[in-house]
Amino acid sequence: MFMKCPYCGYEESKVIDSRSADDGERIRRRRECLNCGKRFTTHEVIETVPIIVVKRDKSREVFDRNKLTAGILRACEKRPVSLTQIEEMVNNIEAKIQSSLDREITTMQIGELAMEEIKKVDEVSYVRFASVYRQFKDINTFMEELNKLLTEKQ
């Protein structure tokens, strides 16, 4: 592999040492320039293709993990759900999105994935999230969702 030396600009170097960094997210390599002999460090990172979120109004934006986290945090507010559990939910959702072959996902699909994860952790948070996500119009639609939840528990 050709890696330009930061000291002399020569394009050939040899790898002296490689090791995992950032919990396997990147590889740290120590290199030695084949021209001047000086050593330098490079970091390799897997290049990811961004996930595009298609919103209800058909506009598009890049997937933002922070928005997902904020929505789940709001639903779990004042509930016995730890930040570790929330982080795990977001990680699971993001992993499912990243493993999909599609590079576009709708807000509806993200909402469904989030509801699946929240339901596993806390039913009240699930109902809160569902009420915003599904935009309950009246008490009847709210009751329908609660009845589904009760039926699933039996």
Share of the chain above pLDDT 70, in %: 97
The full set of domain ranges for the chain reads 13-45, 52-153
pLDDT in tens, 45-69: 877 778 999 999 999 999 999 999 9
Answer yes or no: is pLDDT of 122 > 70: yes
pLDDT in tens, 72-108: 999 999 999 999 999 999 999 998 998 888 889 999 9
Contact criterion met (CB below 8 Å) for 130 and 145: yes
Q: In what order do the strands lie in the sheet with 26-33?
A: 13-21, 26-33, 39-45
Backbone angles phi, psi at 53, to 5 degrees: -100, 125
Tokens of 19: 């090791």
Q: Distance (Å, rounded) from C-alpha 153 to C-alpha 112?
A: 19
pLDDT in tens, 14-39: 999 999 887 777 899 999 999 999 99
Question: For residue 143, what pLDDT is reported?
Answer: 81
